[in-house]
Amino acid sequence: MLTRLREIVEKVASAPRLNEALNILVTDICLAMDTEVCSVYLADHDRRCYYLMATRGLKKPRGRTVALAFDEGIVGLVGRLAEPINLADAQKHPSFKYIPSVKEERFRAFLGVPIIQRRQLLGVLVVQQRELRQYDESEESFLVTLATQMAAILSQSQVTALFGQYRQTRIRALPAAPGVAIATGWQDATMPLMEQVYEASTLDTSLERERLTGALEEAANEFRRYSKRFAAGAQKETAAIFDLYSHLLSDARLRRELFAEVDKGAVAEWAVKKIIEKFAEQFAALTDNYLKERAGDLRTLGQRLLFHLDDSVQGPNAWPERFILVADELSATTLAELPQDRLAGVVVRDGAANSHAAIMVRALGIPTVMGADIQPSVLHRRTLVVDGYRGELLVDPEPVLIQEYQRLISEEIELSRLAEDDVNLPAQLKSGERVKVMLNAGLSPEHEEKLGSRIDGIGLYRTEIPFMLQSGFPSEEEQVAQYQGMLQMFNDKPVTLRTLDVGADKQLPYMPISEENPCLGWRGIRITLDQPEIFLIQVRAMLRANAATGNLSILLPMVTSIDEVDEARRLIERAGREVEEMIGYAIPKPRIGIMLEVPSMVFMLPHLANRIDFISVGTNDLTQYILAVDRNNTRVASIYDSLHPAMLRALSMIAQEAEK
């Protein structure tokens, strides 16, 4: 038990957030003690009550807090006596307090120990189970020791800060979708949560296969339904999100591993959690923001499968007439289910501006902030103001502030009306200079079709995205079909295809790469030049796809030296000769350019003039390398600034060299 205790303490101490630490604690205690319930109640001395902050086994109602006054219940008695209480039947104790919402009436045995640091009560740690018995001395000793260790990890300032959320009035967040919204905060209480699923087994694997099959079919039908709905409403960007979900859901490897887990004896819910988290963690480990957010898409699949596996879900909330959704995470499916005519805004605790949910709220015009460090339950039924421009959330603001934001909303409506009249006008400066608007793409051409009349071409097509959706390297024929669709869709406009850009930070599932510093490692053109067969197959596919349209530009990623450009051009010329021999006639020559994202190449531009046709600046990586800032590291992300004077100077140098 000593080893197990040490493991629990180490896991709790390494958790990034107090809430996560408490969830780890209750889960691991249940497993270590083989008990059915473990809960943590933390003490709010300002309000003289305990809040149920984490539990495994009890029903913690979403959207509401569970609180006990200091003089209420057996938990309150543990705190007042500052000593353990061990009962075979808690319900017969005179201090027992029944709380219907937590569903604890099934559990009779009770052991509660105080969490005390320097004579200051921080909370109460409780275990419970159905069996009528007292916990033995070794179990009581284990829990007391763990509570003592927890007191050393926790601090009164941490606990006070946690409760301070209930009194916050202005919260900084990340702007995810522009606009201002004023309404009542509302937490969706119908969705099963992945973290509420625990390991469980069954002997009836055929029943679990049947349940899993049904959930997969229902989720697939749901995604198809939403895709058709949004496509019919001329919102093809949003429809494309559900097309991607359908594609991921039909992945043969994912389905194979889900059913394999069930065949081993896992219940369907545990199989979903285990396999989805496994796949999601692979994406989450990547440093590329776009790909990192695909972990969220996989978790969305998991949430929907759990939803369709849960017979207890009673249907949608009774939504208020006008509300702001508050959630830990946001999925496109959740958004699709909401009554759009009532949804005023969105507040998300976790999330990023390039997630599919963020793309969808922008497409739907819903003011949204993400990364708001506050529990959604704290915001439930409170008056909120979401400022999607500044990335701010106001909680129960003063009337004068509400009036000011209402004025801004009125101005916004008027500006939107004026902008609608200009949407089809050319992008042109006051000086008369025309500005080209190019699309950043990565999925199939159908997803970009609706923008055809409003854009000047494809500025970047991420060829690695289709690679990542495969279970192995796509064949040359498969790549020809993929690129041909994009080139033909925009046959009168330039289309820039970037060669495969992967690495340890952006891996293919069938080509694992492990490096200590992936941003500076084996990635981009370095990989494909080291493995020229991959490069040649891809370039041949591009050239074959371009044979009839002639609108292809090839972009080389992560170029560091002149030698890399020369070697890539040599291979492209070789691929061109091979294609011409194959089809029997001359093919159009593509434009060749580099993705300028390595600072050294800024100073090498004079030597590239006769070697390349264009330059595409990768501002994300270039900023990261110039400023030596990992944009995915929350500790330093605030100093990542693409408008830093050094970046502006670098861009000016690039522009000047390009004009020569």
Residue 547 token pair: 């044979």
Is residue 654 in a domain?
A: no
Q: Which of 277, 309, 341 is the last residue of a domain?
A: 309
Give SS3 for 540: helix
Tell me the mean pLDDT per 10 residues along the chain, length 660.
80 80 91 93 83 86 70 93 94 88 86 88 94 92 89 64 59 87 82 70 87 90 80 64 78 89 90 88 71 73 83 58 88 74 90 67 87 79 88 83 80 68 73 85 55 77 77 86 90 93 74 72 90 94 96 96 95 96 94 95 91 92 89 69 92 89
**Are residues 23 and 155 both part of a single domain?**
yes
- Report which residue type is found at 471: S
Is residue 653 in a domain?
A: no
Is residue 556 in a domain?
A: yes
pLDDT of residue 63: 46
Instruction: Say if residue 129 is exposed, middle or buried (CB neighbours under 10 Å; 0-12, 13-18, 19+).
Output: buried
CA–CA distance from 78 to each of 50, 69, 113, 130, 240 (Å)? 11, 12, 7, 20, 55
pLDDT of residue 163: 58
Is residue 591 in a domain?
A: yes
**Are residues 301 and 329 both part of a single domain?**
no
Q: Which domain holds residue 404?
A: 169-190+320-418
Contact 456, 436 (CB under 8 A): yes
**Are residues 141 and 250 both part of a single domain?**
no
- Report which residue type is found at 478: E
**Are residues 297 and 396 both part of a single domain?**
no
Question: From CA 176, how far away is CA 448, in angstroms rounded?
Answer: 22
DSSP string, 199-231: --B-S-HHHHHHHHHHHHHHHHHHHHHHHHHHH
Count CB neighbours of 192 within 10 A: 19
pLDDT of residue 69: 85
- Report which residue type is found at 284: A
**Are residues 21 and 81 both part of a single domain?**
yes
**Are residues 297 and 361 both part of a single domain?**
no
Question: From CA 478, how far away is CA 473, in angstroms rounded?
Answer: 10
Is residue 374 in a domain?
A: yes
| Total number of domains in the chain | 4
Q: Which of 418, 447, 464 is the last residue of a domain?
A: 418
List helix spans (H) across 421-518.
464-468, 476-489
**Are residues 492 and 603 both part of a single domain?**
yes
Is residue 637 in a domain?
A: no
CATH of the domain at 71: 3.30.450.40
Residue 22 token pair: 């408490």
Q: What is the 3-state secondary structure (H, E, C) of 131-151?
A: CCCCCCHHHHHHHHHHHHHHH
pLDDT of residue 251: 80
Q: Which long-range contacts (CB under 8 A, 24 or more apart) does 293-296 make?
A: 293/352, 293/354, 293/355, 293/356, 294/468, 296/329, 296/331, 296/351, 296/352, 296/355, 296/356, 296/357
CATH of the domain at 487: 3.20.20.60
Is residue 634 in a domain?
A: no
Which residue carries 């995915």 as its tokens?
Answer: 632
Give SS3 for 481: helix
**Are residues 21 and 113 both part of a single domain?**
yes
CA–CA distance from 310 to each of 192, 259, 438 (Å)? 8, 18, 44
Distance between the two ends of the chain, CA-based, in angstroms?
73
CATH of the domain at 292: 1.10.274.10
Is residue 647 in a domain?
A: no
**Are residues 266 and 351 both part of a single domain?**
no
pLDDT of residue 237: 62
**Are residues 531 and 602 both part of a single domain?**
yes
**Are residues 161 and 176 both part of a single domain?**
no
Compute the Cα dihedral for 53, 58, 62, 67 and give only its sign: negative
pTM: predicted TM-score of the whole model, two decimal places: 0.46
**Are residues 458 and 576 both part of a single domain?**
yes
Q: Which of 357, 383, 418 is the last residue of a domain?
A: 418
Q: What is the CA radius of gyration of the chain?
A: 28
Contact 302, 194 (CB under 8 A): yes
CATH of the domain at 373: 3.50.30.10
Contact 214, 326 (CB under 8 A): no
pLDDT of residue 555: 97
